[in-house]
Chains A and B, each alone.
Chain A
Amino acid sequence: MKKLVLTAAALVMSAGMALAGSHATTVRMGTEGAYPPYNFINDAGEVDGFERELGDELCKRAGLTCEWVTNDWDSIIPNLVSGNYDTIIAGMSITPERDEVIDFTQEYIPGSPSAYVALSDDVDTTGGVIAAQTATIQAGYVADSGATLVEFATADETIAAVRNGEADAVLADKDFLAPIVAESGGELKFVGEDVVIGGGVGMGVRESDTELKAKFNAAIQSMKDDGSLNALIKKWFGEDAQTF
């Protein structure tokens, strides 16, 4: 038994030495892949969307080799702090709760509003039944607003709940809802006032990873300065989208 352990240790050691030489900086970009147009899996099965294009450009500017990985939304932060990937670039709004656990780069999308969508105009957004996705900032907002919160596991189900009458309205990011409303043929419409809940959207990094954060901050700043970030936002979110 002792011999077995020693051999195993020797193997591990030699493998470690062989790999220590080729210590390149591959940055693993974690995203959800289910939140168009921020990020989604395109029909070819690859990560696509605004954040794919943005992330690739940022990595180019920062001189990093990047690789894309998808992770379930619910465990996206635990897997970052556990080191399974190095950044979160998944349309994540900067909130104080999240900021306590991880660090954010500067915003790459200005604070985007959330909006209510319903079948008819006469919906009571503070007293009715409002659907939201579990564990989103919108779910927390609805719970505080006094409305009856109904939580679904996915964003798709929240829209379906409004369509079939389970909920009076859904509260979600306006950028996510806009194409759905536009293509519903007048069935769905925005109601009530838009609400701004979280801060802007930034990239999440581990608190101990200050070097990486600085690199991405610089890259985002350079994209802001030369106007390419605004162009990218307009390309994916339409001409009316808020820019810097």
Chain B
Amino acid sequence: MSIRACLDTIAAYGLRSIGIGERLLPKRDFTLCEHFTLIGSGLLWNLYFGILAIFFGFFLANAIAMAKANRRWWLRKPAEWFIFVFRGSPLFIQFFLFYEAFVLLPKMGWDINLGFTEITVETRWLTRAWLGALIVLILNTTAYSAEIFYGALKSIPRGDIEAADAYGLTGWKRYKRIIWPTMLRLAWPAYTNEAIFLFHATTLVFFSGFPAWRQKGDALYYASYFADKTFNPFVAYPILAGYFILLTLSVITVYGAINRRLNRHLPQEKQRRLRVRPNVIR
């Protein structure tokens, strides 16, 4: 297996998952290079779903967590129910129910004039993974993150809030300056875990949720394609696992960097204590 042949494979299949390159998938005599290229190409979808869902979910989760912590019942109750339903049911059931609902929608299109150009929005897109599954993932991660943020809100040291009161900070200012940063700092380790889980959950999109069009799927889709053709699960799935370990490590690195930034005002000594494992027993 020469490097040149592998480069050809990468050129042909590197972007296969988004429909660029060779249309037909390899059929026999699979090389390791083909395994790595196609599964890696599928990883683009996992990144797409994961990054967008976390991005939109973050803002929504802040709002929902605030609503759940609110004194007014008409804000609190819907937030509590939203979190309960989405945290309380398996993701694949959510995929199934949403897909069933989306295909029932009448197939319509609206023309939206943006001034310089006109685009058509169609309900048909909701049955496609890139939009439908993304919506489900956003709602799912919103519920989990909102619960984490809510838990953090509840564990903000009373002293911090009392100090803010004593300085005359109220309303929005108190929220922005004291409550929100403290909440985020407390929630961050758990939120890191949620991000890891979400990236893992993106493998369910094509596995038990939405149909794959023109053999464009995520990393697991191609891994199971190879496993089906070679009847050998011991090559494709470990490669998939390897990719995901790298992905998880990058998530941990990015979130760790943000965590350090969130804690940068803390006394240096305490910061170091957080990073280096204290030698508790000797």
Contacts and interface: CB of A to CB of B under 8 A. Distances in A.
Q: Do A and B bind each other?
A: yes
Interface of A: 74-75, 77-78, 81, 97-98, 101-102, 131, 134-135, 140, 143-144, 148-153, 157, 161, 164-166
A101 B213 contact: no
Size range of the chain B interface in the assembly:
20 to 34
In this complex, the member of B24, B213, B228 whose beta carbon has the largest number of chain A beta carbons within 10 angstroms is B228
B215 A151 contact: yes
B141 interface: no
B273 interface: no
A98 B231 CA distance: 8
Nearest to B127: A166
A149 B232 CA distance: 24
Contacts, number: 53
Given A77-B231, A166-B211, 7 more contacts: A78-B227, A98-B231, A131-B211, A134-B228, A143-B24, A151-B211, A165-B107
B228 A150 contact: no
Interface in B63-103: 103
A166 B28 contact: no
A75 B232 CA distance: 9
Interface of B: 24-25, 27-28, 103-104, 107, 127, 207-208, 211-215, 224-225, 227-233
A135 B215 CA distance: 11
B213 A143 contact: no
B211 to A, nearest CB: 5
A148 B228 contact: no
Contact of B231 (A81, A148, A166): A81
A97 B103 contact: no
A154 B214 CA distance: 17
A148 B211 contact: no
Contacts of B228: 74, 134-135
Which 7 A-B residue pairings sit nearest by Cβ, starting from the closest?
Answer: A135-B228, A77-B231, A101-B231, A164-B103, A151-B212, A150-B211, A152-B211
Contacts of A131: 211
A149 B103 contact: no
13 contacts: A74-B228, A75-B233, A78-B232, A101-B230, A135-B225, A143-B24, A143-B214, A144-B24, A152-B211, A153-B208, A165-B103, A166-B103, A166-B211
B22 to A, nearest CB: 12
Contacts of B213: 148-150
